[in-house]
Amino acid sequence: MADPLKIGIAGLGTVGASTIRLLDRRANALAASCGRGVTVTAVSARSRTRDRGLPMERFRWFDDPIALARDPGIDVFVELMGGEEGAAHEAVKAALDAGKPVVTANKALLARHGVDLARRAEKAGVALNFEAAVAGGVPIIKTLREALIGNNIDRVYGILNGTCNYILTKMEAEGLSFDACLKEAQRLGYAEADPTFDIGGFDTAHKLALLTSLAFGTQVNAEAIHVEGIERITTEDLLAADELGYRVKLLGVATRSEAGVEQRVHPTMVPKSTPIAQVDGVTNAVAIDADAVPELTLVGPGAGGEATASAVVGDIADIARGQAGAPFGRKTGDLEPLPAAAMQAHKGGYYVRLSVADRPGAAAGIATRMAERGISLESIVQKHRGGKVYGGDDPSKVAGAVPVILITYATTEADIRGAVDAMVSDGYIVETPQLIRIERE
């Protein structure tokens, strides 16, 4: 049997500590699977003295993760510090430039510097693995990079952020407001004190950028993603979705068509019958439409120390077995520049919730604005006339207003936005309209 593979880990938070524990627990199985042992020999973290529930004296300690990354005593550098710049970035570059394979869970780093880092890995002929960066314990990177290589992929989409899915699930199940559910998520540790990164859709966008590259063979381009968060979703929207046969999920969606590659993150109505609609709480799910495998869905834990560590260990094992596929599935020179499709050209159905002034001509005015843009309606629901409007952003404005919900057939983003803007200009609409895109199977 070959010498054990010597691992250096930078970052000993929940994921780092869990990685050490899994490597211990599965030492025999790893050796049997990889034909060589895997052993952590050196670590780096912010605090040397913090109690991690692990005997630390068996590891060489580095105050500086960059020094660890370059250390000749390690064979693989595992980056679990996080952050798209600074120490994590420098350390990963240092490891690759020193010819060491890298495993990282850092989606922000890869979303920003993925192609450059892949180029460095390629130059050194080493692996840059990042299964843990997307959907935690769900092996979506390996599936796209290896298993589905026989397929042209048309679409990849998923629930990639457990915080958002937890909040939406709880709002729906208990009829509570967004703010109340966010507070509960924070109390349970599912949301950060500053939750913007999760609820604003930015975390999902970073993950989507990586999936897009792998699915379509394009350069990672997170800048091109249209991002909306879940802050404006109300319980009224969730109730209406339920009545109409949908559920609302924050999705990251990437599609390829003649218009180019569309990447978007936003609250989305999905038909209840789809596997993705049935994913609740902090669970993640990714669905792939491929030409030979028409719909493949992977569902599992998207976060948590152990689930994420499972992905890290899988990546380490691939390196121990000698696997070193290209980080984004092909040489960086073969990755095409992303032909970004304009969001205004997006085609699909829309849910539109309007607070309409309760006066003559309003309904006709709305219908006219839709017709002008050639938008057909699949359903119109007008609720409790003159009653209470749930979730309005300014209750003082909506006294006497009538909530109207429209579901459109496929139209374009430009047309629906144009029609709704015209209605607002006409003065019929007394609240900021709510638009939610519909994603069909």
Q: For residues 367 and 241, give the distance between their C-alpha atoms in angstroms, rounded to a whole number.
A: 21
Is 299 a residue that touches its own copies (CB under 8 A)? Answer: yes
Tokens of 420: 């709704």
Taking CB under 8 A as the criterion, the residue among 11, 65, 158, 301 binding its own copies is 301
- One character per residue 45-84, x = contact with its own copies (rule: CB under 8 A): ----------------------------------------
For this structure, is 207 an active site residue? yes
Is 154 a residue that touches its own copies (CB under 8 A)? Answer: no
Instruction: Give the residue from 357, 360, 375 showing the smallest Cα distance to 419.
Output: 375
Q: For residues 147 and 29, give the distance between their C-alpha atoms in angstroms, rounded to a whole number.
A: 23
Is 25 a residue that touches its own copies (CB under 8 A)? Answer: yes
Q: Which is nearer to its own copies, 69 or 317 (CB)?
A: 317
Does 272 count as an annotated binding residue?
A: no
Instruction: Give the residue from 3, 6, 70, 82 showing the smallest Cα distance to 42.
Output: 6
Q: Cβ of residue 301: shortest distance to its own copies, in angstroms? A: 6
Neighbours of 1 (CB within 10 A): 9
Taking CB under 8 A as the criterion, the residue among 54, 67, 147, 259 binding its own copies is 147
Q: What distance lies between CA 389 and its chain's CA centroid?
A: 32
Tokens of 361: 């001509």
Is 340 a residue that touches its own copies (CB under 8 A)? Answer: no
Q: For residues 371 and 377, give the distance between their C-alpha atoms in angstroms, rounded to a whole number.
A: 9
Taking CB under 8 A as the criterion, the residue among 68, 134, 312, 389 binding its own copies is 312
Is 314 a residue that touches its own copies (CB under 8 A)? Answer: yes
Is 32 a residue that touches its own copies (CB under 8 A)? Answer: yes
Strand 153-159 relative to strand 128-129, pairing:
unpaired
Burial (CB count within 10 angstroms: exposed 0-12, middle 13-18, buried 19+), residue 364: exposed
| Cα angle for residues 346, 351, 352 (degrees, 5° grid) | 105
Does 11 count as an annotated binding residue?
A: yes
Stretch of 227-235, 319-327, 408-416, 419-427 lying at the interface with its own copies (CB under 8 A): 319-327
- One character per residue 189-218, x = contact with its own copies (rule: CB under 8 A): ----------------------------x-
Taking CB under 8 A as the criterion, the residue among 306, 358, 378, 426 binding its own copies is 306
Is 309 a residue that touches its own copies (CB under 8 A)? Answer: yes
Q: For residues 145 and 138, give the distance between their C-alpha atoms in angstroms, rounded to a whole number.
A: 14
Q: Which is nearer to its own copies, 148 or 225 (CB)?
A: 148
Stretch of 5-13, 147-155, 188-196, 261-269 lying at the interface with its own copies (CB under 8 A): 147-155
| Cα angle for residues 429, 382, 412 (degrees, 5° grid) | 60
Active-site residue identified among 100, 142, 170, 207: 207
Stretch of 23-31, 52-60, 99-107, 178-186 lying at the interface with its own copies (CB under 8 A): 23-31
* Alpha-helical segments (H) within 255-323: 305-320
Is 128 a residue that touches its own copies (CB under 8 A)? Answer: no
Neighbours of 436 (CB within 10 A): 22
Instruction: Give the residue from 321, 353, 343 showing the smallest Cα distance to 433.
Output: 353
Instruction: Give the residue from 158, 192, 163, 159 showing the smallest Cα distance to 178.
Output: 163
Q: Tell me the backbone φ, ψ of residue 392, rounded to 5 degrees.
A: -65, 150
Q: Which is nearer to its own copies, 151 or 432 (CB)?
A: 151
Q: Which residues are annotated as a binding site?
A: 10-17, 107, 192
Residues annotated as catalytic are 207
Interacting residues with its own copies (CB under 8 A): 18, 22-23, 25-26, 29-30, 32-33, 35, 131, 137-139, 142-143, 145-152, 217, 275, 278-279, 290-301, 306-307, 309-314, 317-318, 321-323, 325-326, 329-331, 334
